[in-house]
Structure 1
Amino acid sequence: MIETWRWFGPNDPVTLADIRQAGATGIVTALHSLPNGTVWPVEQIAAHRDMIAAAGLTWDVVESVPVHEDIKRAAPGWEDKADAWAQSIRNLAACGIGTVCYNFMPLLDWTRTDLTYPLSDGALCLRYDAVDAAVFDIHILARDGADADHRPEIVTHAADRFAKMTKPECEALTRTIIAGLPGAEESFDLDSFRSHLALYADIDATRLRANLAAFLQRVVPVAEEVGVRLGIHPDDPPFPIFGLPRVASTAEDLDHVVHMVESPANGLTFCTGSLGVRADNDLPAMLRHFGEHVNFLHLRATLREEDGISFHEAPHLLGNVDMVAVCKAALAAESAQGRKLPFRPDHGHMLAYDQRVDSTPGYPYIGRLRGLAELRGVLHTLDWLQRAE
Structure 2
Amino acid sequence: MIETMRWFGPNDPVSLMDIRQAGCTGVVSALHQIPVGEVWQVNDILERINIIQAENEQFTPLTWDVVESLPVHEDIKKGLPSREKYISNYQESLRNLAQCGIRTVCYNFMPVLDWSRTNLNYQMPDGSLALRFVWEDFAIFDLHILKRPNAVNDYTTEVQESAKKKFESMSQEEINTLKNTALLGLPGSEEAFELDKFQGLLDNYKHIGDAELRQNLYYFIQQIAPIAEELGINLCIHPDDPPKPLLGLPRVVSTENDLAQLMQAYHHPANGITFCTGSLGVREDNDLPQIIRRFGNRIHFIHLRSTTREDNPLNFHEADHLTGDVDMYAVIKALVLEEKRRKQSGEPIFNIPMRPDHGHQMLDDLQEREANRKTYPGYSAIGRLKGLAELRGLALGIIRSLEEPSK
TM-score by length of 1: 0.98
How far apart are residue 169 of structure 1 and its match?
2.1
| Helix, strand or coil at the partner of 2:365 | helix
Write out per-residue CA displacement over residues 145-178 of structure 1, whole angstroms, 9 at most, x where no aligned residue: 2112123322111011111122332222111111
With 165-174 and 176-185 compared, the bigger mean Cα shift is at 176-185
Contact 1:229 1:264 in 2 (8 A): yes
Contact 1:292/1:336, CA 8 A, preserved across alignment: no
1:87 aligns with 2:86: no
The amino acid that maps onto 1:33 is Q
Instruction: Find the partner of 1:254 among 254, 259, 276.
Output: 259
Q: Distance in 2 between matches of 1:150 and 1:185?
A: 31
User: Separation in 2 of the partners of 1:353 and 1:184?
Assistant: 24
Q: Structure 1 pair 93/181, CA: closer, same or farther in 2 (3 Å)?
A: closer
Q: What percentage of aligned pairs have identical amino acids?
A: 52
The yes-or-no answer on 1:364 pairing with 2:380 is: yes
What is the CA distance between 1:186 and its match in structure 2? 7.7
1:290 aligns with 2:295: yes
The count of residues paired between Structure 1 and Structure 2 equals 389
Cα-to-partner distance string for 1:241-275 (whole Å, 9 max, x where unaligned): 11010110000000011111011210000000000
Deviation at 1:337, TM superposition (A): 2.8
**Match in the other structure for 1:39:** 39
Q: What is the identity, as a one-letter code, of the residue corresponding to 1:372?
A: L
Q: Deviations over 1:176-213 (max 9, x none)?
A: 11132633698411121100100000111111000001
Match of 1:117, SS state, is strand
Q: Helix, strand or coil for the counterpart of 1:28?
A: strand
Aligned partners of 2:390 and 2:135: how far apart in 1?
A: 30
Can you list the C-alpha shifts for 1:344-386, whole angstroms capped at 9, x where unaligned? 0011000111101123320011100000000000111111111
Q: CA deviation at 1:279?
A: 0.8
Q: Does 1:214 align with 2:246?
A: no
Moved over 4 A (4+): none
| Contact persistence 1:107–1:186 (CA under 8 A) | no
RMSD over equivalenced CA pairs, Å: 1.2
- Between the aligned partners of 1:117 and 1:27, the Cα distance in structure 2 is 28
Structure 2: how far apart are the matches of 1:79 and 1:260? 18
Q: Check conservation: 2:305, 2:320, Cα contact below 8 A.
A: yes
The answer as to whether partners of 1:111 and 1:181 remain within 8 angstroms in 2 is: no
Indicate the SS of the match to 1:255.
helix
- SS of corresponding position for 1:5: strand
Contact 1:110 1:184 in 2 (8 A): no
Q: Which amino acid aligns with 2:34?
A: L
Please list, as runs of the form range in 1=range in 2, the aligned pairs for 1:103-118 lying within 5 A after superposition: 103-118=108-123
Instruction: Find 2:364's aligned residue among 349, 353, 360.
Output: 353
> Contact 2:306–2:322 (CA<8 Å) still a contact in 1?
yes
Q: Could you tell me the TM-score, scaled by structure 2's length?
A: 0.94
Question: 1:199-230 CA distances to partner (integer Å, 9 max, x unpaired)?
Answer: 00011111100000100111111111111000
**Secondary structure of the structure 2 residue equivalent to 1:269:** strand
- Give the aligned partner of residue 51 of structure 1: 51
Please state if 1:24 is matched with 2:24. Answer: yes
Unpaired runs of at least 5, structure 1? none
- Structural mapping, 1:180-195, within 5 Å: 180=185, 182-183=187-188, 187-195=192-200
Matches within 5 A, 1:104-253: 104-180=109-185, 182-183=187-188, 187-253=192-258
Instruction: Give, in whole Å, the separation in 1 of the partners of 2:43 and 2:266.
Output: 31
Which structure 2 residue ranges, 5 or more long, are not aligned?
A: 56-60, 344-349
Residue deviations 1:40-80 (CA, integer Å, cap 9, x gap): 00011011011111142000000000000000001121011
Deviation for aligned residue 1:335: 2.1
